[in-house]
Amino acid sequence: MTADQLLRYLVTDMTSIGNDAGWHGESTLQMLIEFKGDLPSKGSGGKSNAKMIHEIRFLRRPTLEESERRLIIALLTVLYNQQAKYAEAVFYQHYLPRKQNKLMTDRMIADELGVSVSSYRHNRDMGRKKLEELRTNHLSINKAMGAA
């Protein structure tokens, strides 16, 4: 998986309510289908207790493996310490559209960052390149250490 893909998954995971506990289970429509239109009466709480136990599993259930999550955060931190404008551009490319729940043009993202469109594009492209270089270097180091 490329660094850009890891970053996209991280942002999706950060901004998704679908991974939160309490957002899973049968909808009324699903129950209507399952019970063929004859919905069961509310029980004495047994089902709600079972649901609570089931939902505990989602409290920390990332779409990324924990090692991938730590890796992309570490790589982004290193990039930010080296060249903050690159890290911000590459992060906001994925984050702003998810946060604002709409498609965003380069102009819109550049305006949010307070830079020109050409500066944003340059910073984003350099950020992607540097992030991928950091990931490749990390993989090379891990491979060399595993072979030693």
Confidence of residue 45 (pLDDT cuts 50, 70, 90): very low
Q: What percent of the chain has pLDDT over 90?
A: 22
d(CA 101, CA 96): 8
* Spans of all domains in the chain: 3-16+64-147, 18-56
120-148 tens-digit pLDDT:
999 999 999 999 999 888 877 777 777 54
Distances (CA, A) of 93 to 37, 64, 80, 127: 45, 19, 15, 11
Q: What is the CATH number of domain 3-16+64-147?
A: 1.10.472
Under 8 Å between Cβ of 139 and 87: no
Q: If we measure between CA atoms, which residue out of 47, 66, 46, 57 comes closest to residue 20?
A: 57
65-109 tens-digit pLDDT:
777 878 888 888 888 889 989 988 998 888 888 777 788 899 999
Question: What pLDDT is attached to residue 47?
Answer: 56
Q: Which residues contact 22 (CB under 8 A, 6 or more apart)?
A: 55, 58
What does the mean pLDDT of the chain come to?
A: 74
pTM of the predicted model, to two decimals? 0.60
9-42 tens-digit pLDDT:
777 766 665 554 454 455 454 555 555 556 556 5
